Amino acid sequence: MANIKSSIKSIKKTEVQTLRNRSIKSAMKTACKKAIQAINDKTANAEELYKTAIIALDKAATKNVIHKNAAARKKSQLTKAFNSMNA
């Protein structure tokens, strides 16, 4: 354990940020998986789940949980799958 006051604060801050990042990333992954599953099964609510996944990816990129280019790549893959379902 750290002895210096600023180090103790830094450790606490890191723990809070880690929890926040983990929850955002988990929500993002869940939304993407549900969207992919719905697109593959061609269910009626696929469009709604697709939009939710896009929003989750944007939030994760905005909060620097994932890199903006990674978010763009995942959004592109989702969009490609979604468009091929409708074609």
CATH number of the domain within which 42 lies? 1.20.58.110
Domain range holding 30? Answer: 20-86
pLDDT in tens, 7-60: 999 999 999 999 999 999 999 999 999 999 999 999 999 999 999 999 999 999
CA distance 1 to 73: 40
In angstroms, the CA 83 to CA 8 distance is 50
Backbone angles phi and psi of 83, in degrees to 5: -70, -35
pTM of the model: 0.87
The domain total for the chain is 1
Q: Is residue 11 part of a domain?
A: no
Report the run of H or E that residue 34 belongs to, with start and end: helix 5-41
- Asked if residue 14 belongs to a domain, the reply is no
Radius of gyration of the chain (CA): 17
Mean pLDDT of 70-85: 96
- What pLDDT does 1 receive? 79
Percent of the chain with pLDDT strictly greater than 70: 100
Question: Cβ(41)–Cβ(20) under 8 Å?
Answer: no
